[in-house]
Amino acid sequence: MRFFSKPGDSRYALILRALIVCTTFVCLITLAWRSTPIVNVIYAADRYYIAYGITLYFAILLVRTLRYIMFVGGELELVKKHLAYKEHSTAQGIHAPAPADSLVREVYDALKRHGGNHNHDEILDIVYDTLDRKVAHVAQHAKTLIHLGFIGTLVGIMMALTEADLTSLFQPNANVGAILDAVIGGMKVAIGTSIVGIVAKIWIDHLGIILEEGSHHLANNIVKMELLDETQSEFPLS
């Protein structure tokens, strides 16, 4: 029930949702590959390896996005432990262990550098600035997939226009079959690379939504944890 009511507030919920998204897309692509020749046609017709390049870029981005989700999930569990400790303890500061490379420690180091007490918005800005350095902007990278697909579309159209000698259609004994083959080959590249880019972006976008929700919960929990101890001037981490 917690998975449906609060889908982004725990590490396991984030990872489970990411696995569901990846499994769904893998099943759909496998079904398309087995039921129709479209997948084989897309890559077989791509003589300039644009679809392969998009797929490689997508694979790298997919791995990075999954790593970001796991990182945010781990930080979320760490912050929840600190938050539970502060809510049930009268001692000031964070006394539970925080790894040196954790987001929690970086946020509190940033708060110490700014000095003094902070309101909700100031803490939230510091949290998001720190989080942005840890988690790259997945949505912006995902747009590159569409751009690569559009480049493939233009290349396919250029192939169709340059390899097909359309002027020969007005000559006697024109080889209409060869001209049509050239046009169809170029259009296969144009449409195929667009399909690969669009599907890859949709996949990354769904994972990006999960990452965004997890980051939102993480930032709010860090702010809540800090506001529980507004009068504190130091942030002990042991």
**pLDDT tens for residues 81-111?**
777 776 666 555 544 456 666 777 777 777 7
Of residues 233 and 32, the one with the higher pLDDT is 32
Domain containing residue 171:
2-227
How many angstroms from the chain centroid is the CA of residue 43? 24
CA dihedral (12, 14, 19, 21) positive or negative: positive
Is 237 part of any domain? no
Is the predicted pLDDT of residue 3 greater than 60, yes or no? no
Is 232 part of any domain? no
Q: How far apart are CA 184 and CA 186, in angstroms?
A: 5
Mean pLDDT along residues 214-222: 84
Which tens digits make up the pLDDT trace of 191-211?
Answer: 999 999 999 999 999 999 999
Q: How far apart are CA 39 and CA 164, in angstroms?
A: 24
Burial class (CB in 10 A: 0-12, 13-18, 19+), 216: middle
Is 234 part of any domain? no
Is 236 part of any domain? no
Is 104 part of any domain? yes
Number of separate domains in the chain: 1
Mean pLDDT along residues 67-86: 83
Which tens digits make up the pLDDT trace of 47-60?
Answer: 889 999 999 999 99
Of residues 83 and 28, the one with the higher pLDDT is 28
Is 166 part of any domain? yes
Is the predicted pLDDT of residue 216 greater than 90, yes or no? no
Which tens digits make up the pLDDT trace of 161-172?
Answer: 887 776 666 677
Is 195 part of any domain? yes
Map residue 61 onto helix, strand or coil: helix
